[in-house]
Amino acid sequence: MKPSPWVRMDTWLRHFVPFSITLVLLLMTAVPTRFSGFAGITPMLPLMGVYYWAIYRPDLLPPWAAFALGLLYDIVSGTPLGVNAMVLLLVQGVTVTQRRFFLAKTFLVAWWSFALLAGAATGLSWLLVSVISHHALDPAPAMVEYLVTLGLFPLLTWVLARTQMAFLKDV
């Protein structure tokens, strides 16, 4: 028996959850902070979203979605167009290729792996922006951004896992 249009629409909307949640995380990076000296330092929330979904539901956040989110991230954050798109696409690709390894490991291994991948992503972003702007940027804000991202990873992973259990356990 063919499912009703409502069931098909529900399934389609559930398939859209990873992209939507990562988009919300991206938009949260645009919220201005009131801490002096930290205005340009925001955690890389979209990076965490792409990493999480690439491990647990890569079918629902394909490479084209990571690229599109990266382009939007470039627009929102003011970085040169294509930098975050390339970084998120690389993170998604590397994580998907190592998915079997991540699924069999504990959270601490996933966090450690994220630390390595986020460090490489931060360094690559810093390098690309420095090359495009024709001068070396101060690496201190990038390091602080990386550390804040790493510190928020457990909390955001918990939220994403609860979201997955609530919306995607039957999909």
Full 3-state SS string of the chain:
CCCCHHHHHHHHHHHCHHHHHHHHHHHHCCCCCCCCCCCCCCCCHHHHHHHHHHHHCCCCCCHHHHHHHHHHHHHHHCCCCCHHHHHHHHHHHHHHHCHHHHHCCCHHHHHHHHHHHHHHHHHHHHHHHHHHHCCCCCCHHHHHHHHHHHHHHHHHHHHHHHHHHHHCCCC
pTM given for the model: 0.92
pLDDT for 22 equals 96
Q: Give the model's confidence band at 33: pLDDT under 50 very low, under 70 low, under 90 confident, else very high.
A: low
Q: Which is higher by pLDDT, 11 or 63?
A: 63
Express each pLDDT in 56-93 by its tens digit: 999 999 999 999 999 999 999 889 999 999 999 999 99
pLDDT for 7 equals 75
Express each pLDDT in 98-137 by its tens digit: 999 988 899 999 999 999 999 999 999 999 999 999 999 9
